[in-house]
Chains A and B, each alone.
Chain A
Amino acid sequence: MSGMDDLYRENILEHYKHPRNQGTLEHPDITYEDANPLCGDRIRMDLNVRDGRIDQIRFSGHGCSISQAAASMLCEAVEGKPLEEVKKIGRDDVLEMLGIELGPVRLKCGLLALKTLKAGVYGMTQWPGEDGAPEGGA
C-alpha cells in the first residue's frame, strides 16, 4: 500500500467511511446545494446560525472520496465558528486538511464543499482560489 498513502491518506478514508456532520437540518437558516458537473459530485450544506456563529452544520450529497471527506472535514472545522471566519478559509486550508496534493481535475472535488459553503454563507460562486487562469477540468 506504499504509493496509495499519498493518494488516500488514512484521514481521508476515515472521513469518507465515517463522515461527520452528515445529514440535513429540519429548518436550516441557510441551505445551499452545488455540483461539479464534470464528475457528478453533489453537495448540499444546511446551516443554523446563532449570534453570527455556525451553530449547526450538516452536509449531504454524493461523490468521490475526496469531495465527501473534504465536506466532512470542513463541517467539523467550522461548526461553532463565526461566519466571518468562513470567509477567511481558502483553498490552501482545505488542501491542508486533506493533506494531499490534488491534480487539476480532482482539485475541484476537494474544493466543492468549500465552494458550496461560501456560496451559502455569502454568495461567493467562484471556485476558491481561482485567479482566472484555467487549470483544466470542467
Chain B
Amino acid sequence: MLSSGATGTRASGRALDAHKIRQDFPIFRTPRMKPLIYLDSAATSQKPDAVLDAMNRYYAGYNANIHRGIYGIAEEATAAYEDARRKVAAHVKAGSPREIIFTRNSTEAINLVAYSWGRANVRAGDAILLTEMEHHSNLVPWQILAAEREAELRYVPVTGDGELDLEALSRLLADGRVKLMGVVHISNVLGTINPVPDIARLAHDAGAVVLVDASQSVPHCPVDVSALGADFVAFTSHKMLGPTGIGALWGRRALLESMPPFLGGGEMIREVKLSGSKWNELPWKFEAGTMAIAEAVGLGAAVDYLQGMGMDAVFAHDRELAALAMEKLSEIPELKILGPPAERRGGVVAFTLGEIHPHDVATVLDDEGVCVRAGHHCAMPLHEKLGIPASARASFHCYSTPEEIDALVRGLRRALKVFAR
C-alpha cells in the first residue's frame, strides 16, 4: 500500500468483527419490517453511538460559542472543538493541527483552494490538470476558476481498465503551464486506488501544486498526507462515521500562510477597522463565522472510533468485501463490473446489469431492504467515457458483512426475473 500513500503503523492481521461492530450503530438496532442492508457507505456512512453521544453531550452539557466566551462552558466548548482538530490532524498525520481547516465538506474544502489559492495564482494561459475520474466536486470549482481566469482545463484520461493513463499525465505536464493538478485518491465509482505519490512527484517536477480529493480514502484507509506528497488534501466527516456539515482541508503550512482568506466574517480576523481588516492566524483565517461545533466534536469522536479499530483493519475489511462482492457478482452473466481488479481497488463495486436501468435495479433491491446507489454518482464525465448513462454501486464500511453481499446477489437475480423481456 506504500505506493498509494496509504501507510499504517499498526500490525494488520487483526480482523474486524463486523457483526459485533454493527451493535455500536443505532440504525442497525432500530426495529424495522425487514433488516436494513446498507451498501451505500461511499455516499455516506452510518454513525456509531459514540459520535451521536459526543454531539449530544456538547449540546446538553456545554453548548456555547467557541473562541469568545470567558466562562466555563465556552472554554470547554473551545477545548472540545480544538481537540477535534488535533484528532483529525493526527488521523492524517499532519505536521500541525494548524494545517487542518474545518470546512462544510470536501466540496467546500476544494472550493476554498480554488477561490483562495486559485484566484491568487492562476492567470490567463495557465492550465489546471484534472482527471476523467473526478467527482463533480473536483471538477466544477476548477471549471468556474478556469472560466474566470481564462485558464485551460486538461484531463488525464482513464484507461479501459479504469485506471489513470500515467504516460498521458507526463505529456499533459510537459509544457510546464500546469499550475495545479487535482486528483482523486480512491475513485467513488471505479474504486481505483490511484498512485498519488507518483502522480504528485511528476506534477511537482513540472512546477504544479497538487490537490488530492481524499473523500473515499481518509474514511477507509490509513492516510499520511506527507507520504501522499500532496499540497492540499480534502475530506469529509460524514463518510467517515461522523456527522454531515463538517469536513476538512489539510494544506501545507507555507501555502496556507500565503493564501488570502476564502470567506470574510467573524473569527477569521485579528483586527477590523472600517478602513480594512487584518487576518487571523492559521487555521482560523479560513474559519469565518460560527463553525459547526457539535459536528466537529462528533467528527473527533468518529476519528477515535476509527482509530480504535485501526485503519489498516478497516481497509482490509472493506477490500475483502469488495473482492468477495466481485467474485459473487461475476457469477451473474448479465452483470458487468466497472473498474480495476480487486487488488487495485478500495471498498467500492459499481456495475451494470444487462439492459436494466440502474434505477430499476435499485428499486428492486430496495424492496429487498438492500440500499445501493444508482445514477452517475456525481461523476457524469466518467460515465460518458464509459459509454453508460448510469450505474449501480455497492460500497462498504466497517459494519458491512458478507451476508449482505449474498442479499445483494439475491436481489439482482430477482431484478433479472422481473425485467426479463
Query: Which residues on A are within 8 Å of B, measured CB to CB?
Result: 1, 3-4, 7-8, 13, 16-17, 37-42, 62-66, 105-106, 109
Contact = CB atoms under 8 A, between A and B. Distances in A.
Interface in B357-399: 357-360, 363-364, 367, 374-376, 380, 383, 388-390
Contacts, number: 51
B40 to A, nearest CB: 14
A42 B389 CA distance: 10
B418 A109 contact: no
Contacts of A42: 389
A106 B364 contact: no
A17 B360 CA distance: 13
16 contacts: A4-B367, A4-B418, A7-B364, A16-B419, A17-B421, A38-B375, A40-B383, A40-B388, A40-B389, A40-B390, A41-B389, A62-B389, A64-B357, A64-B358, A66-B359, A105-B359
B419 A65 contact: yes
A67 to B, nearest CB: 8
The 4 A-B pairs at the shortest CB distance, nearest first, are namely A40-B389, A64-B357, A64-B359, A3-B367
Given A37-B380, A40-B389, A40-B390, A64 B360 contact: yes
A51 B374 CA distance: 44
Contacts of A37: 380
For B359, B375, B419, the residue with the greatest tally of chain A CB atoms inside 10 Å of its CB is B359
Contact of A7 (B367, B375, B383, B421): B367
A83 to B, nearest CB: 31
Contacts of B367: 3-4, 7
A106 B363 CA distance: 10
Nearest to B414: A4
B146 to A, nearest CB: 21
Given A3-B367, A39-B357, A64-B359, A8 B390 contact: no
A62 B360 CA distance: 13
Determine the main DSSP class of A at the interface with B. Answer: mixed
Nearest to B367: A3
A4 B367 CA distance: 7
Contacts of A106: 359, 363
B205 to A, nearest CB: 38
Given A7-B363, A8-B364, A40-B389, 4 more contacts: A17-B419, A39-B359, A63-B357, A106-B359
A40 B363 contact: no
Contacts of B357: 39, 41, 63-65
Contacts of B376: 38-40
Contacts of A4: 364, 367, 418
Contacts of A41: 357, 389
Interface in B181-205: none
A39 B419 contact: no
A129 B376 CA distance: 26
Contacts of B421: 17
Contact of B390 (A1, A17, A39, A65): A39
A41 B389 CA distance: 8
B418 A8 contact: yes
Interface in B83-138: none
Contacts of A65: 357, 360, 419
Interface string B407-421: 000000000001101
Nearest to A63: B357
Nearest to B390: A40
A66 B360 CA distance: 8
For B357, B380, B388, the residue with the greatest tally of chain A CB atoms inside 10 Å of its CB is B357
B95 to A, nearest CB: 41
Nearest to B417: A1
A92 B288 CA distance: 46
A104 to B, nearest CB: 13
A79 B6 CA distance: 61
Contacts of A109: 359
A64 B419 CA distance: 11
Nearest to B391: A40
A78 to B, nearest CB: 24
